[in-house]
Structure 1
Amino acid sequence: MSDDPTPTPTPTPAQAQAQAQAQAQAQAQTQVTGAASGRIRILLADDHALVRRGVRLILDQEHDLEVVAEAGDGAEAIEMARTHDIDLAVLDIAMPRMTGLQATRELAALKPQLRILMLTMHDNEQYFFQALKAGASGYVLKSVADRDLVAACRAAMRDEPFLYPGAVTALIRNYLDRVRHGEETPDQVLTPREEEVLKLVAEGHSSKEIAEILFISVKTVQRHRANLLQKLGLRDRLELTRYAIRAGLVEP
């Protein structure tokens, strides 16, 4: 009697196709497990590891929330979104390489069903409206994240906008003041390119350096700077830098 093991039969094309379909279904089931169990899968992006750790503690202690990916800047957040199944992204505004606002625009285009929240230390009216225009569902201050962030996450998944309660009255009052005085309303915001130029100016780059970074001409950079000064009612580079810091585009 031979001790040779019985050879494994080669699957037929139909069997191979059935096996492939079964594997694909199993993988798809694994990917939707978080959503099916009712847990909101979250991507968290902030360039400070301690902030990410604290925010993660707030979110992970909730039965319906789970941080499944982290990123240290906007560009990394885009990569994490490509490789992870997520329902919600929580992004800081001021991050290196790519700001939270820039990442929001790209994420909204990459995953239209993704909900996005801005988490920032900057209480800035213009950037709240700009975040909404970019595709964010809400704007939460880090100083009250322990109170508001969980509610904001749940509101975003209900497709409801979220604004931290303390800012509502101030925003309405400011808006009405602008209307009464005939000033531009808050939805008059910077273009994505102007925002990039503003960030680079505030970081101390010369017009030539900005042109090289963005692959545009020096004249185009100068035109963007002139537009920024006119739109924002500012006079010089120093005021642009101060504005960028207040807006959360760069760190002080």
Structure 2
Amino acid sequence: MIPVLLADNQYLTHAGWLYHLEALHVVGPFREAANKAELGALLHQHPDSLVILDYTLFDFMSAEDLVNVMLRHRSSFWILSSEELSTPFLKHLYYQTEQCSVLFKDSRLEEFQTCLSLAFKHNRYLCARAVQQLMGKQVSASEQPDKVLTQTERDILRLVAMGKSTKEIAQERFSSVHTIMTHRKNIFRKLEINSVYEATRYALRAGIIDAVDYYI
């Protein structure tokens, strides 16, 4: 029986993973992690786990940070499942490790099923969208930051970088949580970033937030 570490902080997809995994009847006990520290502790206890991770909702600092964790736990295997992952991020993973598969949250059911079955054998799987990103050519958005983000997106990026949650931003801007999540998704896609840490680093570099405000 293979232990599974579920590291997805989005309720609906978290519940979906539990449903599909329980239906397989081939996995060991489930463990859940809410952040990188908890995940690391669980990997020490269960080094041969299948890890299902939404990278964009976790506190990894970069693709390299994630790969380093994978390499420290070589008997584990990972499935990355997020709404958006940038092309540079995917390329880094693809060339640095074969320890993980990639799905997007809008992947077809057949892709989820194939990915899971291969993951238990430690065989890598890339969904069609990930393959298209890796094979396609994209212009780097970070080359012209001021021309990429709308003023609304810059305002939301500033609030994200200051540590506010999606719910807090929605309340402050009198918007729905869904609207803020859509803006956040677009910001991450345009800037080719994947985490709040990267968003904060970008906002500091671009002058969207002041370092003094950030550290306060």
Q: Tell me which interval the TM-score lies in, with the shorter structure as reference length.
A: 0.5 to 0.7
**Shift of the alpha carbon at 1:69?**
0.9
* Residue type of the alignment partner of 2:87: E
Task: Tell me the equivalent position of 2:69.
Answer: 107
Find the aligned partners of 2:62 and 2:108 in 1 and give their Cα distance: 17
2:121 pairs with 1:158: yes
Task: Tell me the equivalent position of 2:105.
Answer: 142
Instruction: Describe the shift of the 1:143–1:116 C-alpha distance in structure 2 as closer, same or farther (beyond 3 A).
Output: same
Task: Tell me the equivalent position of 2:22.
Answer: 60
- For structure 1, list consecutive stretches of 5 or more residues without a partner in the other structure: 1-38, 176-229
Asked whether the 8 Å contact 1:73–1:97 carries over to 2, the reply is yes
- Name which structure has the greater RCO, CA cutoff 8 Å, separation 6+: 2
**Shift of the alpha carbon at 1:121?**
0.6
Task: Tell me the equivalent position of 1:8.
Answer: none
Give the percent of matched residue pairs that are identical in Structure 1 and Structure 2: 16
Asked whether the 8 Å contact 1:139–1:164 carries over to 2, the reply is yes
- For structure 2, list consecutive stretches of 5 or more residues without a partner in the other structure: 150-186, 197-216
Asked whether the 8 Å contact 1:116–1:137 carries over to 2, the reply is yes
SS in 1 for 2:79: strand
SS in 1 for 2:55: coil
Count the aligned residue pairs: 157
Instruction: Describe the shift of the 1:163–1:153 C-alpha distance in structure 2 as closer, same or farther (beyond 3 A).
Output: same
Give the TM-score, by structure 2 length.
Answer: 0.57
Q: Deviations over 1:90-131 (max 9, x none)?
A: 111113433584663243232112111211111532222223
Instruction: Describe the shift of the 1:107–1:91 C-alpha distance in structure 2 as closer, same or farther (beyond 3 A).
Output: same
Give the TM-score, by structure 1 length.
Answer: 0.50
* Residue type of the alignment partner of 2:94: L
Instruction: Describe the shift of the 1:49–1:108 C-alpha distance in structure 2 as closer, same or farther (beyond 3 A).
Output: same
Instruction: Describe the shift of the 1:152–1:100 C-alpha distance in structure 2 as closer, same or farther (beyond 3 A).
Output: farther
Let me know the Cα RMSD of the aligned residues: 3.4
Find the aligned partners of 2:29 and 2:191 in 1 and give their Cα distance: 29
**Shift of the alpha carbon at 1:233?**
2.5
* Residue type of the alignment partner of 2:134: L
Query: For the pair shown, which has the larger CA radius of gyration, 1 or 2?
Result: 1
**Shift of the alpha carbon at 1:232?**
4.6
**Which of 41, 51, 54 matches 1:92?**
54
**Which of 69, 73, 77 matches 2:35?**
73
Q: Deviations over 1:1-57 (max 9, x none)?
A: xxxxxxxxxxxxxxxxxxxxxxxxxxxxxxxxxxxxxx3322110223443222111
**Shift of the alpha carbon at 1:154?**
2.6
